[in-house]
Structure 1
Amino acid sequence: MAIALVTGASAGLGEEFAWQLATAGHDVVLVARSRDRLSEVAEVLTSATGSGAEILPADLTTEEGREAVAARLTADERPVSLLVNNAGFGIGASFLDSTWDQERALLDIHVTAPMRLAHAALPGMVARGHGAVLNVSSVAAHLGNSTYAAHKRWAVDFTQALAGQLAGTGVTATAVLPGLVRTRFHDSDALSHMRHEFPEPVWLDPERVVTSALAAVRRGQTVVTPSVGYALAGSVLRAVPQRVTRGRRSQQRD
């Protein structure tokens, strides 16, 4: 049975990835910081779908946490065939107003962790002749107004670089660029204001985002935006001079 490892699996898009993968017959490895929450998700998921659910508590902003997950990805027993780099967060502050600890944690969760985990997973996938890496980016990748946007742009560039190097191996790389998604992410004090600033029609359901992302993985598609509206917006943003999009904005996340 195919095994998928999902980071940030305790809530939001990560939990939805776990559910859809388990429903499709995959066993899953669930990664997040909270052991208790992972145990809850795993128990309900297993009882509802019959798929196996392994929990791996790890803080991906730390080297210890990243290496624990990397060790699972390099294990020969029950190898992972799909890596979903989904974990992430926002701080609701501009670079000038943030602390170094905040910025370092953002970089580690959005850049260091996906690179480290892909580096651990891909050699085994290539050796077996099949597998995939799915990186959750954002339409913010089309902006140049925050370090969050820069990290998400990197995720797209990294995925495209991987896709080129993986050509002909049977292994693929995909980046999904959702917009605003209805998850608990925006419940934090720093980001809750966004729920009132953007109209209801621009918010996407997690089910739609995950379904689109997994379909793109099955097709071997490198970049996917799970909304016609956001895809059009991305095209417009790419055509707009960067001086227009580079404003002083708070950091945000899907």
Structure 2
Amino acid sequence: MTGPIARPVALVTGASSGIGTEFATQLAGRGHDLVLVARDEARLEALATELRGRGSHAEVLVADLADPAARARVERRLADPGDAAPVDLLVNNAGYGTAGEFIETDPAVLAANHEVNVTAVLLLCRAALPGMVARGRGGVINTSSVAGFLPGRGSVYGAGKAYVTALSQNLFMSVYGTGVHVMALCPGYTKTEFHERFGQGRPGPGFLWLEADRVVADALADYDRRRELSVPGAVYKAIVAGSRLVPLPILQRLARRSASGRG
């Protein structure tokens, strides 16, 4: 007799709100068990309770990814789960934004931004991928941004996201043919708490704003199709395509005239 078929496990960082919560919810609906990672324990526990009520096992792992010691706990869960089930899908979704111009931003804040948006993505991928390749299955979705394709001023957010996209495309090639897949998700403005945290409200015209559930549904559909890049929304697909065609000096002039603060 064979035992029950093991359910796939997804680890989602930044799971306590926005796109991260949507990933956890939609993956649970697809039959995944979850490892939920974020700083806000109360929100994670509430989400875990909801997902358990829908039939998924949900593990809570409280960690500030800007803290190397806390991040190491997440790395260990990915690399050597012990008696727990190995992670089949890593969703690197945690993000850190900064408001204000670069030269006016506290260096400690810039460093924390780098730890979450760049270092954590690199190290969590490095922790997860060897085991996935050895098992011949699994994958990573790295939440990047359309901002990574455009010159900006102010924060280091766009620079970090450019790195995440490039890293994801490199890893896509590195694991090609192993049964493991890596994809970068590059959304534009999405209706989450991200902008409100900086007192920015919702900048830009309404047609630019995407619903988080649609962003995640499009991302998972693109992941199923084994695409290396997912850009939800026709407007943002056009923006990304245009960024590759318009000469950089023109993009820089537009950014100088229209962008500030977070970029």
**Which TM class, normalised by the smaller chain length?**
over 0.9
User: What corresponds to 2:145 in structure 1?
Assistant: 138
Q: Which moved more, 1:52-61 or 1:212-221?
A: 212-221
Q: Distance in 2 between matches of 1:61 and 1:116?
A: 12
User: What corresponds to 2:114 in structure 1?
Assistant: 107
User: What corresponds to 2:200 in structure 1?
Assistant: 192
User: What corresponds to 1:202 in structure 2?
Assistant: 208
- Return 5+ residue gaps in structure 2 as ranges: 1-6
Match 2:217 to one of 192, 211, 219? 211
Q: Distance in 1 between matches of 2:261 and 2:163?
A: 18
Q: Any conservation in 2 of the 1:6–1:31 contact (CA below 8 Å)? A: yes
Residue identity opposite 1:60 in structure 2 = L
Deviation (angstroms), 1:236: 1.1
Q: Any conservation in 1 of the 2:22–2:212 contact (CA below 8 Å)? A: yes
Residue identity opposite 2:167 in structure 1 = F
Report whether the alignment pairs 1:251 with 2:262.
Answer: yes
SS in 1 for 2:73: helix
Q: Any conservation in 1 of the 2:98–2:157 contact (CA below 8 Å)? A: no
Question: Highest CA radius of gyration, 1 or 2?
Answer: 2
Q: Distance in 2 between matches of 1:192 and 1:230?
A: 20
Q: Any conservation in 1 of the 2:92–2:121 contact (CA below 8 Å)? A: yes
Report whether the alignment pairs 1:228 with 2:234.
Answer: yes
Deviation (angstroms), 1:144: 2.0
Deviation (angstroms), 1:238: 2.1
Matching of residues 78-97 of structure 1 within 5 Å: 78-97=85-104
Q: Which moved more, 1:236-245 or 1:94-103?
A: 236-245
Deviation (angstroms), 1:26: 0.2
Count of residue pairs brought into register by the alignment: 248
Match 2:72 to one of 64, 67, 72? 67
Deviation (angstroms), 1:217: 1.5
Residue identity opposite 1:174 in structure 2 = M
Deviation (angstroms), 1:101: 0.8
- Return 5+ residue gaps in structure 1 as ranges: none
Match 1:53 to one of 55, 58, 65? 58
Q: Distance in 2 between matches of 1:156 and 1:184?
A: 23
CA RMSD, Structure 1 to Structure 2 (Å): 1.3
Q: Distance in 1 between matches of 2:141 and 2:66?
A: 19
Q: Any conservation in 2 of the 1:4–1:83 contact (CA below 8 Å)? A: yes
Match 1:162 to one of 171, 186, 191? 171
Q: Any conservation in 2 of the 1:86–1:135 contact (CA below 8 Å)? A: yes
SS in 2 for 1:104: helix
Deviation (angstroms), 1:191: 4.2
Deviation (angstroms), 1:170: 0.3
SS in 2 for 1:184: coil
Match 1:151 to one of 157, 160, 163? 160
Q: Distance in 2 between matches of 1:165 and 1:92?
A: 35
Q: Distance in 2 between matches of 1:93 and 1:86?
A: 23
Q: Which moved more, 1:142-151 or 1:66-75?
A: 142-151
* TM-score normalised by length of structure 1: 0.94
Q: Distance in 2 between matches of 1:173 and 1:218?
A: 11
Q: Distance in 2 between matches of 1:229 and 1:96?
A: 32
